[in-house]
Amino acid sequence: MSIELKKLTAHDGRDAYDFLQTLPKDENGFINSAAGMTFEEFRHWCARCAESAEKTEIEDGWKVPQTTYWLYAEGKPVGMGKMRHALTDSLRVAGGHIGYAIAPDARNRGYGKLLLKGMLREARQKGIDRVLVTIHNDNVASIRVALGCGGVIEQITEERHLIWLDTSVD
């Protein structure tokens, strides 16, 4: 099976757009801000996302630089991940470093684990030693993915599991 993690670019095309239209706008706390966009709006969205990945400072007191990735399987996007380069106090409670989603028709095939492991490697390359994922308590599949990638539960709140992952573990 051919699997590839690709960094979003300002020129991503119709395949990524079509993939995003299969994801809900907000599912388990993962926000798909491209849901319902026209293709032209998507092109502008990609440009903004690509710009965010190159920033180094927090904007407006809360917007941290973020890189978006696509997980491709057999040449088709099946997953999306967002990696924040730093955490604010609020992101330590809800949001964390990494959020990810798998297309509904591609779930339960191990793609979540492949996507998270790839993003851990990317985080390590950015000099991040440990990443935090915050997962809604009822999102059992995602909790399993994080724990399967070596995650350690630090805390369980009324809403979320806070799980830390070491980026040096493959």
β-bridge mates for residue 31, sequence order = 26
Cβ count near 129 (within 10 Å): 9
CATH architecture of 3-166: 3-Layer(aba) Sandwich (3.40)
The string of DSSP letters for 10-67 reads TT--HHHHHHHTTS-SEETTEE-TTTT--HHHHHHHHHHHHHHHH--S-BTTTB--EE
Whole-structure pTM value: 0.94
Is residue 134 within 8 Å of 84, Cβ to Cβ?
no
Reported as a single tens digit per residue, the pLDDT across 132-164 is: 999 999 999 999 999 999 999 999 999 999 999
β-bridge mates for residue 99, sequence order = 82
Reported as a single tens digit per residue, the pLDDT across 98-123 is: 999 999 999 999 999 999 999 999 99
Please tell me the distance from the alpha carbon of residue 26 to that of residue 29, in angstroms, as a whole number: 6
For residue 170, what pLDDT band results from cuts at 50, 70 and 90? low
DSSP state of 104: G
DSSP state of 137: T
Share of the chain above pLDDT 90, in %: 89
Q: Is the dihedral of CA 72, 73, 76, 78 positive or negative?
A: negative
Task: For residue 149, give the nearest of 141, 158, 138 by alpha carbon.
Answer: 141
β-bridge mates for residue 162, sequence order = 134, 155
Reported as a single tens digit per residue, the pLDDT across 62-103 is: 789 999 999 999 999 999 999 999 999 989 999 999 999 999
Is residue 51 within 8 Å of 65, Cβ to Cβ?
no
Is residue 25 within 8 Å of 32, Cβ to Cβ?
yes
